[in-house]
Amino acid sequence: MILELQWEALLSRAGCRITEPRRVVMRVLEQAQRPLTPQEILERGKLLHPNLGLVTVYRTLELFESLDLVCLVHREGGCHGYLLSAPGHRHVLMCDSCGRAVEFPGQDDLAQLIDRVQQHTGYAVGDHLLQLFGLCPECQEASGSSVP
């Protein structure tokens, strides 16, 4: 609820309009809780708003990303998806099995590592990209009982 108000206020403040397609994309991302490709967002969005267009999905994601409402998740394979993101929490932990993703802070631990790397390499580290992959609690149970 709080989130719903927040993003609408953010858009308004940025001089953007609250439209049905934007509401639909936001609702799809809220319900998914895992990274979705623009195609996937379109498919799910069409169920709520049948004449939603793919171009609008792309433009909405671009807008949401510029407002930090959404973040891009990378995989080794190169495929990537968009995930709803609480601002400030920039690291993603994603389940390899069901795709569910959660975010975690972890600034402090990383600061240590970054310090060490800076000393060893002479680089001045600014930004970083950290994403973890594994099994969520539900999928651990599932694989534990069905595939022992």
Partner DNA sequence: ATTACTGCAAACGTTTTGCAATTAC
Partner DNA sequence: GTAATTGCAAAACGTTTGCAGTAAT
Q: For DNA, give the closer residue by CB, 77 or 137.
A: 77
Dihedral pair phi/psi, residue 64, rounded to 5°: -60, -40
8-state DSSP, 100? -
Q: What is the DSSP string of 27-74?
A: HHHHHH-S-B-HHHHHHHHHHHSTT--HHHHHHHHHHHHHTTSEEEEE
Considering only residues 52 to 81 of the shown chain, the ones binding a copy of itself according to CB under 8 A are: 72, 74-76, 78, 80
One-letter amino acid of 41: I
- 125 touches which of DNA, a copy of itself, none (CB within 5 to 8 A by kind)? a copy of itself
Q: Which residues bind DNA (CB under 7 A)?
A: 11-12, 15-22, 37-39, 49, 51-56, 58-60, 62, 78, 80
Q: Which residues bind a copy of itself (CB under 8 A)?
A: 72, 74-76, 78, 80, 93, 95-96, 102, 104, 106, 109-110, 112-114, 116-118, 120-137, 140
